[in-house]
Every structure is written in C-alpha cells, then in structure tokens.
Chain A
Amino acid sequence: MNVAVAKTGNGRAVSDLFASAEGRLPGSPSVIAARREAFETYERLGLPHRRIEEWKYTDLRALVGEVLPLAAPPDAAALKRAADAVKAHAIAGARKLVLVDGVFAADLSDVKALASEVDFKTLRETLEKDSGLLNTAATDAVIALNAAMATDGVVLDIADGAQLSAPIQIIHIATAASASTFTRSQVAVGKGARATIIESFVAAGAKAYQVNDAVILSVGDNTDLAHIRLMDDSPDAVNITSQFVTVGANTKLNFFNMTTGAAVSRLQGFITLAGEGSELSVNGVNLLQKTEHGDTTLVVDHAVPNCFSREVFRAVIDDRAHSVFQGRIIVRPDAQKTDGKMMIRALLLSDEAEADNKPELEIFADDVSCGHGATAGALDDNLLFYLKARGLPEKQAQALLIQAFVGEAIEQIADDNLREHVIGIAERWLERRQ
C-alpha cells in the first residue's frame, strides 16, 4: 500500500483518498456533488484528535494516523471467503443481508425471503435518485467522510403494522486487508411494527482494515424494536460506527452492542426521543484486551416529555487495553417527567488497563428523574478466593465473576435466543483468556 496516498494532515494527499475513489462511488451527478462537499468538510476538519472535546479520549490521529484507501469491490475469491464467514456468523432463523468489503452481496443475502412488509433497496440504488441519505450532521469529520465515501448499504422500509417474526441480520464482512470500507444504511420502522435487527461485523481473512459505518434509524410510533450489534472485527482493524436514531411516541426500543474485536473502535450513537411515552433501553458490553481501544459514545436526547431511558454498560479491560465511555443525557426544556438513568461499570483486569468514563447530564427541565453512576475497579479478591478455595483455577474463577459482571448488561436483551447467543460470545472470549 502506498502510504502517501492516504496520509492525513496534509491537504493535497487527503484529496487523493477521494480522487482515487471518486470513479467508483455510486450516485447521480448531484450525489457526487454532495459527496465532494462532504469530503471538503472532512478535509477541513481532518481526523478527530484529542483537542476536539467529543474525541478527547479517542485521538484518531494518534491511534489510527491515516485513512486507508477505499477497498476494491470483492472478487470471486473474496466472495467465497465471505460465504464461509456468513455461515459462521449467521444467527439461526435470521434473514441475512450481507455487505462484503462495503458492497452488497446479493448472492449471500436472503432478499427474497424477507417478509412482504419489508421493502429493501441497496444504498447504491437509492443514490441513483437522490443524495438525501448522505445528509447527516457534517460537524463530525468521520461522519462527513462516511457521507463522502459510502459505497453501499441496506435501505429497509418496514411497513406500518408489520410483525416480523424473523430477525433481519446485516452482516459486514471484510476480506480486503489494508483498505477502508464505508457503508451507510437506513432502517425506517413503520408505525405499530415489531422487528429485530442484528448487525454483525466480522473479518474473513482480512487483518488491518478500517470500517466506517453509519446507520440511520427512524422508529415510528407504537413500535417494538430490538437492535443488536455484534462487533467482532479483526484484532488489527478499526471500526468507527455512527448511529442516528429518531424515536416516535409510545415505542419500546431495546439496543445492545457487544464489542469483542478491532484494535480501535468507536460506536457513537445519537438517539433522539421525539415522541412521548417511549421506553428506551440502551446497553452494551465491551471486552477489550492487548492494546485494544474501545469507545462507546452515546447521546440520548429527551426532546419531549414522559420518556424513559436506561443505559447499562459494562467494560472488561485486560492487558493494556483502554475503554472509553461517554454518555450524555440531554433533557430539553419541554421534556418534563423524563426518567433517564445511566450506569457504567468498568472492570480492570490488569494494572495497565485503563478506563475513562464520562457520564454527563444536561437537564433543562425541572420535573425530571435523572441519574448516572460510573465505577471502575478490579475483581473482588474475597470473591476470587472463595471460588479458588472451591477448586477453580485463577482464570476460571475470574471468568465466572466476569460473566456475572457483564451479565448485568446482557440480561437487558429481551430476546431469549439472542441473549444466549451474546452470553456465548462472552464465554468464548473468556475461554480464549485461559
């Protein structure tokens, strides 16, 4: 790979990232113009660094340094490797939508098996008509870069009243080393619908690659939606994902994220509660080891009265890994009777492990019940000794306590099968430690 092509911090070289990709980026001429504008924003801002408040603990200039060139579309060999990865990571019964190196792979997907109430398009198709899907807040460089470079994604429209019995699983597979993928998906959930969306990020052979994903989720009134994200990218990869969620009235939302992969990752979620009477549960577990850096940054914006939000996050940090959690709860002046709470706990398994927890409340209404708590600490020696005195070797005793620790977040997953699946992921991570 030619580093000069992708080097940041130097205007001309950065432009090469876009110039070399431009011919391959889908979209009508107006879309390409919008992309160019987004790229200029990115170029002006550059990769986020520690002097930008939101990125204080995740300095991409230091951690990542450069944005790798756009991945080539997958060839037959890549698709074959991806097919094996799909088999390994598919959730039983789910309808799969597969993106390989940032390109939708129809042959690996179950488009025909989608329920009739689900309208499916690729981002590529959508962008032939208009650039609407690229319009996201352009103040964040990685989001602007995503808008400029997004090659593909899934665009789902779930009809009003649809009751989807099978989950939809979007699987992102990386087969190309030393390259970047940019994906952008939109899911619109109609009024009164019920659905489960799973997103998986996995590698099929590829090691050092970069993922920049964006998800736009709009949730109608009276819906019941579960969203589970399982990020298990290669230990050398970078994954930056931005979620934009707008929630209608009287909905039930259950979000969960599991991070077990990537050298550097950040999941940034921007959730706006825009309809009254909704119940939001956002939870996650980050399992970090070696020198991994895992960041969860979440803004829950109570824009209207009478909503309820709960956040339960657990990070397990081994070796020299670094966990970041930034959670902000905003309560707008009108949003009376808001009930918003967030509880973050980090478990440090080594002296060199690091946790930065930054919970924030911004409350502009007076009749609310909000709170947060953040702790960081080691395993309790007394509990460890009890287990060892009963015959458990050190690592196994730790594993049992770690399972209990992450269990507090995992138990928030409403669906029994998915909860068991996530418990299995945690167990396998712990087995690898032993």
Chain B
Amino acid sequence: MAWYNWFGIFSLAICLAVCLYHVIRLIKLGMPVEYSGRSGSPVSGIVYSFTSAMNPSVKESASLNLPVYIAGIVYHLGTFIAGILFMTVIAGLSPSGYHLLFFAFFLFISALSGTGILIKRLTDKKLLYISLPDDYISNVLVTFFQASGGVFLLLPGSEPVFMISAGLMMLYLPVGKLRHAIYFFAARFHLGFFYGWRNVWPLHKQKVDERSK
C-alpha cells in the first residue's frame, strides 16, 4: 500500500478515535433529569425532530433561503459520496464503470456548492461578522476533498491528492466545526426530547375548527 493510503488510514483512525471520545462523553453525561409531568411523547418529538421538523415548509431557515438550503444539501451529499469513495480506496477496491462519470459530475457540483457557500460567507455582512477562521478552513478542506474526489474518478493517477485531502480533512474534523457531524445528531435529539416532552412537537395541526366539538 502506498504511503498516501497509509496517511489516509492513519487520519481516519485518529478521526474515528476522537469522534468516539466525543460520542462516549455525550453518552456518559446522559440526558437531563426531567421532574415535570410529561404532557407529550419524547419519542414522537425525537422522530419528528429528525424528519418533518427538517422540512422547508415548517422551517424558515430553509424556506426563506431556498438556494442556500439546496446548496447545503448538495454539499453534504457530496461529502458522503466522497467519503464512500475514500472508503472504497482504502478497502483496496478500484472504482470503475460508467456511473463513475455521474458521481464525478455530482462531486464537481457539490464542490461548486461549497465554493458558493464560501463566497457567500466572504461577502455577506452578517456571515462575515459571525464567521471564525475555523469556518473558512473547514469549508476549504471539505470542498477540496470533494473536488479531488471528482478528479480522481476521472483521472485515477490523482489518487495521492485525493487521499491527502481526505486525510487532512479527517484530521481537522474533530477539532473544528466539522464536529457538527456528531453534535448535529445530539442537538436534534435533545431538541426533540424537550419539545416532545412538552407536547410542542410533533407540531399540532395549525388549523383548529372546534366549533362543533
């Protein structure tokens, strides 16, 4: 196995180990003890939190910013595809077939979405205000990871570049905002539990005609 593959495996191991540490810490800390009398269902709240609550029709952050929302989804999908590609390579499989063209195309589109998001971050006054160096670094690393994955699918000789970009991204993941790969789930879980307990989620049908009741 070439050195860059070892670098990829090494980075993956570090990334997984630190992520595991975060997950174990979360599990160990556990849920808040709730003394109030429950009026809804925390389970339904959690399910809702991960499903319908993400629907643009109930979420202004999506509906009022549809292009950014779609770019974000494409960008995340690109990361998953590039991640699968990375796993394929370290498993010693060499991707082949016509469908690779599709995936390469998708990765270029997702990298483009990432670039668009970066440009927005650099030009939008409010995003500039809230951004940290970490945000730019995270974006550049992920975007480059996706783009190099796309190139690798078309030019297998570029494997070292892809593996190095993957390794760098994975080494950075646990220390910066890319950690949201873990904390997204934890936050949505807590939110679902909280709103479910109080019968806020699942959202009540916002139409009430009870005159006849």
Q: Note whether A and B form a binding pair.
A: no
Which positions in A face B, CB cutoff 8 Å?
A: none
